[in-house]
Structure 1
């Protein structure tokens, strides 16, 4: 008997061509691990991520439905039994127990999540900013120079030091040393305060926790304060997120053994619990609540980027605008009720930037909608107001059903 069976999970059998989950369906408290057979999984974003609509064929030991289950969001994928298949059905409530019984399963899920998040993030950056730089420690000098030009000496000193650490024979070592010599030694020598027996690091406002392109040996849990996550795109620092107490970050680098994909900086006084690469798996086993928390947070991050990518697949500008507004409502976990209004913390300019349109193009599309659809208005403060949430939901559902019909037609043609 396997470790998973000892946890008393149920088994379900599916006949060939049976739909197991459908993208956009209501929130599920279960995910699936394949025990026998195979399942083909499709996502709306497949054409822009993989360049194909064929989906991915999963086999014994593979899993699906985890992101939607652990983030408590609507299904992100459509799963169809490729042949007669036996699936282990894992309830969300039993996830901690699953980790205790088999930590490698949790680590496998985490590595899959990390890879998927990096894949999604890379694609979104390319599509939104028309640019993408592969992680490489040689780029640390460019980041240091950016900070130096902005007179952000603490951040510059950190990046110069990391450049010299990882690229001792790099082409800019002399320049980096000269720059460091021009910065106050107290700034150059600054390090986080360590509380060794508790695996805690303390940072002050503006202090760099880690920098994009450096290698990472730790993941972090925020115990106090906030952390800014930024990325350098087209020679500018772009804000990706501001994380708060209880959030986890830095896990991707230790799971994939690749350089950091973003920069983390303290906002105010910050205390962090750190998890070292070498004891990550044992920590997940001994403290399943942390493993569960990381998976929940990663699930929500994957869902947010997935929804943005899925929006790009909707070619019609009206469909994209309706769906973008729905994404903001879903992020806030607002309950959809008829005749219920909601003010989105978005201006029309914010919406245009989110969609990636030029200002002129975006204003034209939005004006057309405001002129024809009285369900969407602008508040005196410039925020977008939805007068009837259920109507917006129905409009978005209409466009998504058209996409699902296209997928079903594709599947039927493939079967003939």
Structure 2
């Protein structure tokens, strides 16, 4: 069989470990023959996810394409023959085998949505499968915060999606009151334009609205947020080069979160028709989208593991380490770091009640492991965060061992 990509081949005997959770991920695998079982320490599976894989299936893509350690064990159930693919070969794979690439991307999109819902349930004890009715709640929240540009956008989208709602006139009256104080320019964007400009503190899209486009940030930054239990939760802070909004486009489902323009920004908008052309003509962008989705899945698994930590101080430290891991800096070297978010954001990330969370964070402040710079959390030495996290992880394991032996 010809192999124009010069992909690697690997054979494993029945019972062999192909990948090991926690070890470096240098390439991912496509099964040529045999079966492989996937095992994880944190075993939260969607209904569509299969732990027993066969010829044509792939595994190890998340950790490899996100440049993180493996999040799963892969064990050969039979003697197996596998194709191995390095990250730098992925763009060529897209060119030569588009169906495989789209299978990976669509699988990733479903995983992200499922894991995001699982994390919301575990962290906030709330189900937030957003639909167009949720737009009203988004508008109400931002109206209470006097963020009228965001509130007006959400109200407007609610009215467009629910024209026969019996309360529509009441919503329109609210819109009329706040319109003089709102920037409504994002509602007037020329959607035929590929490159668009968005002003600071406006809403690009709201959770619950339909989404025909994904975006690539050319300049500026975007906050991804979700309203849960009448609180705004910061999910991600995106900057130039980042891709977002792809799940609604790929799955034709409502937006699962809102995108708020953090500073004046320039974005490239890609609709479904353009996306299909990109898959064929611009494999490097599709490769970057795959890496983006892989990074989100890896981060969601880490966040889900964080929810299992019982000690709230340990959970806070673990969350800070996760943010350091996301930044891709060398966390073994002493250096200062600005996390880019505040105390309330950190408490919401780990799902603690605000009063309890502030008490926990005060301990970190007393230890001088973190300080506040402006409105953001700052550490003068990231290795102190790592050492404290290692200590609390060790204590957590000790407590779990004692409990299991009772």
TM-score, reference length from structure 1:
0.80
How far is 1:361 from its partner?
Answer: 8.3
Matches within 5 A, 1:57-68: 57-68=52-63
Is the 2:220–2:264 Cα contact (8 Å) retained in structure 1?
A: yes
Long gaps (5+) in structure 2:
402-406
How far is 1:192 from its partner?
Answer: 4.6
SS for the counterpart of 1:268 is coil
How far is 1:393 from its partner?
Answer: 8.7
Is the 1:341–1:389 Cα contact (8 Å) retained in structure 2?
A: no
Q: Deviations over 1:155-182 (max 9, x none)?
A: 2232222112222222422222333344
1:32 matched to 2:29? The reply is yes
Alignment match of 1:378 (pick from 361, 369, 374): 369
Q: Who is 1:18 aligned against?
A: 16
Q: Who is 1:411 aligned against?
A: none
SS for the counterpart of 2:103 is helix
Change (3 A) 1:391 1:244: closer
Alignment match of 2:301 (pick from 300, 303, 306): 306
SS for the counterpart of 1:11 is strand
How far is 1:349 from its partner?
Answer: 8.3
Question: What count of residue pairs does the alignment treat as equivalent?
Answer: 389
How far is 1:140 from its partner?
Answer: 1.2
1:220 matched to 2:228? The reply is no
Q: Who is 2:75 aligned against?
A: 80
Q: 2: CA distance between counterparts of 1:275 and 1:310?
A: 34
Q: 2: CA distance between counterparts of 1:276 and 1:101?
A: 23
Q: 1: CA distance between counterparts of 2:176 and 2:344?
A: 43
Matches within 5 A, 1:200-215: 200-215=195-210
1:162 matched to 2:153? The reply is no
How far is 1:138 from its partner?
Answer: 1.2
How far is 1:211 from its partner?
Answer: 0.8
Is the 2:7–2:84 Cα contact (8 Å) retained in structure 1?
A: yes
Change (3 A) 1:119 1:400: farther
Change (3 A) 1:60 1:130: same
TM-score, reference length from structure 2:
0.82
How far is 1:221 from its partner?
Answer: 0.5
Q: Deviations over 1:130-151 (max 9, x none)?
A: 2122121011122222333334
Q: 1: CA distance between counterparts of 2:183 and 2:371?
A: 48
Is the 1:180–1:188 Cα contact (8 Å) retained in structure 2?
A: no
Change (3 A) 1:351 1:137: closer
